[in-house]
Structure 1
């Protein structure tokens, strides 16, 4: 992806085709795409291109504004219904010219960075009966991630049916978000045989392994080979950021009990001193990262209806629930920003 709007910025990047598709879908549902683009900070000249990138946070803001404009909790489902193969350019054509559904899925895990560096789609588990893929976003506010995640999995399921010409239904779909008050349309769109669950650590979609052997209808092996060689000449995906590995290790330690720097260092097979040095080189500290991880876990607990009680406080390494509630109030104040006021933080 060529760069645009990225000078002096840090963070993940999205292909402009994502925002263009969302704005087109919003217009088809009666919203004003120009207003949404202006509010999200996506300039007109970028929307006239296909080979540029924008900060992922702007795409996520587009999602939020589209939902507000459409005024429906099912906006990701209705937008996914407008998706057609080819809308995502090379990423789609690699998918549609793979020999089998499984090979098509593999192109998605390998080339997702053509569309976004903000998402991670990977093979999670596989045996002779079932194959599970995981998906998650690195950046975005909670509601933005919920919208984008619903759309991504709805499109993935639709693509699977579209390229095989058969009713390939996932066995199960799981979301990291809490269950929406109404999700019948989402459940119907996904058509998972064992249903849809919410509140998972990461989003997942499980297929029958046998279904992944189904041929992709109309696939052109020669074109697929040409596209594959072309894709191989493009810049590789960004290297896995060791900070992602660190944060996964820290989250795992938090899930087991009160966190400790030594425990995380051992998970990463490095010394305590090396871990502190790597954090400093990345412009952060153990204290900063621990506070951010506690915040993530406390937010997830609040969203799933678990209060800031003694058990949660102990697991996050606080001396008592009162200390956790003080931290929740501080995080809420940081979200509001200086000079803003608000009621007591949820769970406080």
Structure 2
């Protein structure tokens, strides 16, 4: 089991939106929360409530999606006002100097908005794409989660860049839903279904566009608030939590200490010194993150071991096997036999 999925560190932004829409549609909202340890009324009333991924996605959202079939529920949730959908992360992003800076902040801190999807930036010849990835396989929720993330991105961009903004095109892995026309209406671009990945494309030059709302003191304060928000609920120093968050977002690329330090806006020397002060080492933190992710993939997916190795940053499957035995005392193949 991946312990990170059970930590109550996620602001209930998405759940709150689903509850509001469910009540408006006359759904039996309270029934969605039975057995989860959460309460719909308290969720909407309290600013301090945090939820775990399993509570949010595995339990409540499944029931909500089943209760409201045939509705563009993800777009309705993500299409709300930016501050409702993104909170302090939205403040941090709109205070950045450029689109590139805002994307960097979003990639590092997207969990602070209550996001239930992970995001990567991919570079092509004359385009870039935000690629949306499920945190764990959720076939029943895939459409909802991607819709919500795409709609949230679109609302943010239109708030900052103007109401005419749209992606150049969008690719989605699932078949067209009954309301497919709503995608074209909302996104105002070509939408391709049954693609190989979930991506929103933009011209590369967009990354250099300056934000008229840039204000560095506000950005710094909002970024710090997001980091503190993510630190709540984790029994680790804030810097360790921040390092884990960066590594978790980009495990496939085997980030070095220098890479992580750059994304945290500090030198490698400062990062290592502060980790030593917390009695932690970068390599131990990276190993722990890799181990958690590898165990989850081996237990909860049918991916071949070679693919799991690449997903956690190993290009050589032999190195991965050696590391896995060092972490757990048994091989990746034995892990599946133990839980099969």
Q: TM-score range by the shorter chain?
A: 0.5 to 0.7
Say which of 204, 212, 221 aligns to 1:209: 204
TM-score normalized by the length of structure 1: 0.65
In 2: Cα distance, 1:289 partner to 1:116 partner: 32
The answer to whether the 8 A contact 1:99-1:215 is kept is yes
Cα deviation digits, residues 92-141 of structure 1 (max 9, x gap): 211222223332222210101324585321212155x3111211122353
Q: Secondary structure of 1:104's match?
A: helix
Q: 1:267 aligns with which of 303, 307, 315?
A: 315
User: 1:164-202: per-residue Cα shift (whole Å, max 9, x none)?
Assistant: 11522212212233443541212322222x4333242x3
> Which position in structure 1 is the counterpart of 2:282?
none
Work out which structure has the larger RCO, using CA pairs closer than 8 Å and 6 or more positions apart in sequence.
2
Once the two structures are TM-superposed, the CA of residue 273 in structure 1 deviates from its matched residue by 5.2
5+ unaligned residues in a row in structure 1: which ranges?
Answer: 1-7, 293-333, 335-348
In 2 relative to 1, CA 269–153 (structure 1 residues): closer, same or farther, beyond 3 Å? same
**TM-score if structure 2 supplies the norm length?**
0.66
State the alpha-carbon separation in 1 of the partners of residues 12 and 170 from structure 2: 28
Q: Would you say the 8 A contact 1:100–1:212 is kept in 2?
A: yes
Alpha-carbon offset, residue 46 of structure 1: 5.0
**Are 1:148 and 2:145 an aligned pair?**
yes
Structure with higher helix content: 2
User: Aligned equivalents of 1:86 and 1:182: distance in 2?
Assistant: 24
Once residues 212 and 308 of structure 2 are traced to their aligned partners in structure 1, the CA distance between those partners, rounded to angstroms, is: 50
Quote the RMSD (CA, aligned, Å). 3.9
Deviation at 1:20, TM superposition (A): 1.7
User: Which deviates the most, 39-48 or 219-228?
Assistant: 39-48
CA distances 1:45-78 after superposition (whole Å, capped 9, x unpaired): 4554333422212212333322333332422223
Listed as ranges, the matches of 1:80-159 within 5 Å are: 80-116=78-114, 118-127=116-125, 129-139=126-136, 141-159=138-156
Shifted more, 92-101 versus 117-126: the winner is: 117-126
Quote the Cα distance in structure 2 between the aligned partners of 1:279 and 1:82: 44
Residue 261 of structure 1 and its aligned partner are, at CA, apart by 6.3
Runs (5+) with no aligned partner, structure 2: 232-237, 249-288
1:12 and 1:118 in contact (8 A); partners too? no
Deviations 1:229-285 (A, max 9, x none): 4445653144433258759999xxx99xxx67699597246447514505635x884
Q: 1:11 maps to which residue?
A: 5
Match of 2:131, SS? strand
Local SS of the residue matching 1:143: coil
**2:290 — aligned with what?**
242
Q: Matches of 1:151 and 1:223 in 2, distance apart? A: 26
Q: CA deviation at 1:9?
A: 6.1
Larger Rg: 1
Corresponding residue number in structure 2 for 1:227: 222
Q: Deviations over 1:180-230 (max 9, x none)?
A: 3541212322222x4333242x32111112233333343433312332344
